[in-house]
């Protein structure tokens, strides 16, 4: 480790008024001096791995990330090998092409016990809607109801949920709006959990790739799945939805979004949390939907992902003593870093959350926005 490396890192931290060894909850405490060279040579991969290895700590990682992003750290850091490799990798190969995406095995099949401990009672693993909510359960039910109202669900209709997870939207829609629902996921453990807990509701979950779907549905929703489609497949995704959706039906896309168009994701997040995933921009979504759909409504409530992630983190930490024997301390630090750094990113408005309503032919008389 050189003094120059430590000075360089200190200058980057200063962009967010963050100090090495300071007394505030967002200051950084370094336990291994190799940290400085690792950060400068490996970028976000080095930062994340060094935290997993116990080389540094921060009492409030979410605030640390928020302050760095608002301070404009990305304007000062040049792309390193890991970023350049991610760009080349995404351009050369369509990593999301194959059935049985790696992200299902790597992330969603980790263990239902983890998600049961972390999520709300309905097991909704996407941004809650906190406008009038004070608890995670209430925020998730508000989000599910928001989607149903945006779709205009009516009794007896058939809803398709692309990326249905543990079945939260389907079960809610069947209970509150008397529809039947079909959901697809690539996660075997999600499907097993959802099928075992659907009770007598007219819903079913199948393990299937969206590109293999056939049939016709009154409405379609996709919640927190589009981030795994990949920019080379955005057009195919919308073509598939168009072929499945009834002419008078609506499609609600709920997705994390980027403020600028990207063709790769953060290297640490790709390596440890969401393999082969990336978030779209509005421009990429609009281009993929052009000629197939009319955009009726765009609703940005990305700021609500901050309290959602913080609630997940609180649940995760409270449950950790029972989870520790199975997952281990390195996973503990990895998962904490994932949840808190993402919270900081949404708080800093580096990342967004959109619900977009599409129609195939336009709603006669105009679509009335639902909030």
> In this predicted structure, what is the pLDDT of residue 105?
87
Q: Which domains can be identified in the chain, with CATH numbers?
A: 3-78 (no CATH), 99-359 (3.40.50.150)
Q: Which segments of the chain have a pLDDT < 50?
A: 80-93, 95-96, 98-100
User: For residue range 59-102, what is the model confidence (pLDDT) as tens digits?
Assistant: 999 999 999 999 988 776 655 444 334 434 444 445 445 444 57
Predicted local distance difference test score (pLDDT) of residue 103:
86
DSSP string, 116-164: HHHS-TT---S----SS-SSHHHHHHHHHHHHHHHHT--TT-EEEEET-
Cα 173 to Cα 169, 170, 217: the distances in Å are 6, 5, 14
Rounded to 5°, angle at Cα 342 from 173 and 211: 50
**What's the confidence (pLDDT) of residue 102?**
76
Q: Is the pTM of this model over 0.85?
A: yes
User: Cα–Cα distance between 98 and 332 in angstroms, integer?
Assistant: 30
Q: What pLDDT does residue 265 have? A: 86
The pLDDT of residue 77 is 61
- Give the dihedral sign, CA 90/354/68/26: negative
Contacts with 354 (C-beta within 8 Å, 6 or more apart), sequence order: 253, 254, 255, 257, 282, 298, 299, 300, 302
- Classify 270 as helix, strand or coil: helix
Confidence at residue 96, expressed as pLDDT on a 0 to 100 scale: 46
Q: For the chain, how many residues are written?
A: 371
Question: What six digits make up the tokens of 16?
Answer: 């967010």
By DSSP bridging, strand 250-258 and strand 219-223 are: parallel
Residue 101: the pLDDT is 59
| Angle value at C-alpha 268, between 345 and 123, nearest 5 degrees | 65
Closest Cα partner for 279 from 350, 214, 218?
350
């Amino acid at each position: 480790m050189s003094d120059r490396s430590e000075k360089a890192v200190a200058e980057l931290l200063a962009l967010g008024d963050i100090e090495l060894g300071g007394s505030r909850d967002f200051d950084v405490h370094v336990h291994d001096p190799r940290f400085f060279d690792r950060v400068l040579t490996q970028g976000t991969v080095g930062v994340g791995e060094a935290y997993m290895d116990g080389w540094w700590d921060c009492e409030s990682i979410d605030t640390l990330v928020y302050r760095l992003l608002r301070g404009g750290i990305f304007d000062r850091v040049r792309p390193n090998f890991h970023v350049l490799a991610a760009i080349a990798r995404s351009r050369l190969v369509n990593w999301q092409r194959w059935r049985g995406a790696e992200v299902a095995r790597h992330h969603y099949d980790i263990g239902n016990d983890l998600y049961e401990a972390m999520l709300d009672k309905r097991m909704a693993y996407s941004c809650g809607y906190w406008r009038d909510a004070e608890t995670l359960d209430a925020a998730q039910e508000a989000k599910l109801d928001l989607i149903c109202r945006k779709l205009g669900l009516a009794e007896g209709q058939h809803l398709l949920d692309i990326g249905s997870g543990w079945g939260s939207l389907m079960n809610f829609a069947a209970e509150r709006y008397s529809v039947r629902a079909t959901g697809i996921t690539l996660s075997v453990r999600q499907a097993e959990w959802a099928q075992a807990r659907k009770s007598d509701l007219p819903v079913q979950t199948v393990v299937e790739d969206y590109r293999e779907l056939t049939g016709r549905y009154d409405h379609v929703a996709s919640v927190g799945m589009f981030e795994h489609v990949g920019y080379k497949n955005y057009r195919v995704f919308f073509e598939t939805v168009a072929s499945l959706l009834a002419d008078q039906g609506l499609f609600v896309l709920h997705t994390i979004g980027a403020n600028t168009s990207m063709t790769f994701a953060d290297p640490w997040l790709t390596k440890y949390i969401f393999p082969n995933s990336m978030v779209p921009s509005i421009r990429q979504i609009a281009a993929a939907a052009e000629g197939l759909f009319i955009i009726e409504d765009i609703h940005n409530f990305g700021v609500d992902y901050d309290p959602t992630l913080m609630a997940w983190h609180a649940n995760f930490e409270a449950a950790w003593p029972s989870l520790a024997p199975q997952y281990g301390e390195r996973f503990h630090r990895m998962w904490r870093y994932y949840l808190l750094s993402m919270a900081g990113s949404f708080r800093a408005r580096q990342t967004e959350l959109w619900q977009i309503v599409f129609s195939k032919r336009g709603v006669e008389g105009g679509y009335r926005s639902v909030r």
